[in-house]
Chain A
């Protein structure tokens, strides 16, 4: 569709941050990577596809923000000192921050597809995708949805043990 071609058309590179293991620092690294790239003058976006445990909004101090719509879809929340990092997370869609997103796979897959195709990212040098632990629905759906685009690759995070 035109929207699909438009919303990610301005994104130069897509970087997945993965682990398999939980709690090793994926979200922390995703955030720091985005901030570092921004300092280096790049246009950056973060897509947080951890639907059960979205950590990025708090890490960028925007946990109380809401998303709005525009003609081409959802407008990401702009964060960082110069409000220049674009962020989308399910965290922004929750009525209350403690609401549990208790969804089975098919529903998670549907939202991830929407996050990939319906967010108006604009022009970005890098889109960083933060993932939950595991190798399941979120990961399969994210890679499938992003396959038509410029997938740069994955950064894997671990701890020494």
Chain B
């Protein structure tokens, strides 16, 4: 039993990997037989298809956390709005949170449907230069639960990348669900067909969040995903009446700042709590446009600029030899 315990903690190599069913970690996994009998690795034809589809995407940023409810979707939506403020840039926002897709509501696109054309699925456009895709657009009703196991979720994520006609895109922002599981492994695997500039990791100041975020940072390192930096969300609250600042989620262990120092990652910035953010999200409006004077807006704009600078600086050569 002790041997089973330590082996059971080793990593799953991935059902699509060359090691599927054959790695030491596979012993005792109920899927072992299936994996061992399956394909020897990712389908090269599939990889070529994805590469072709994503060829015109210049920069890709993943928004991750590990912890739920820290503001990944809020951040993804505002990052997309912020980048799309430059009308010369084409921005795409892909929501791969299959069970809890928040992006349609936050972008004011609830009830929209996905249309198909000869060139694939058409993203839903908020602005001419800001297109969105989410499983939320594929549901009959917004309350329909998507109760899918990993493999089915992976299939839809692959379809989002392969079948959506994104066109020429300057920035592809990918919003993810909390955790380090199928969706995260799959998106990194499928996007290896193109180039991921890096991940932005969102957290709140409390240790209960940071402990999950450290795991996410380790996940990024394991899969060799560069970390653009960490955003500390819900970082302090300034009362609009008395202007007193309170720490709603006290950084009992030093907050994101200490964690970033310890793990040698960049702290991109801190965003304070502003009740208007939740209101704007619920009504599908851009908080940056509705509250341009808010301290939170200022923080967001600084963070977005830093992300842009990172992407432009680490510019990916389009002529990558496969």
Contact = CB atoms under 8 A, between A and B. Distances in A.
A147 interface: no
B289 interface: no
Contacts, number: 155
Contact of A22 (B68, B181, B281): B68
Nearest to B281: A161
A130 B193 CA distance: 37
Given A110-B30, A161-B281, A102 B222 contact: yes
* Residue from B1, B30, B99, B222 with most neighbouring chain A CB atoms (10 Å): B99
Contacts of B66: 52-53, 100
A150 B28 CA distance: 28
Contacts of A104: 12, 14-15, 150, 181-182, 185
A20 interface: yes
A99 B12 contact: no
A130 B66 CA distance: 17
Contact of A52 (B28, B146, B215): B215
Interface string B216-233: 111100110000000000
B148 A136 contact: yes
A133 B204 CA distance: 17
A98 B208 contact: no
Contacts of B204: 23
B170 to A, nearest CB: 30
B167 interface: no
A58 interface: yes
A110 B29 contact: yes
Given A58-B208, A139-B147, A161-B278, A133 B181 contact: no
Contacts of A139: 147
B181 A24 contact: no
Given A106-B12, A136-B148, A159-B69, 18 more contacts: A22-B177, A23-B68, A23-B204, A52-B66, A52-B215, A53-B68, A53-B179, A55-B212, A58-B208, A98-B215, A100-B216, A100-B222, A102-B181, A110-B31, A134-B177, A136-B153, A137-B149, A161-B282
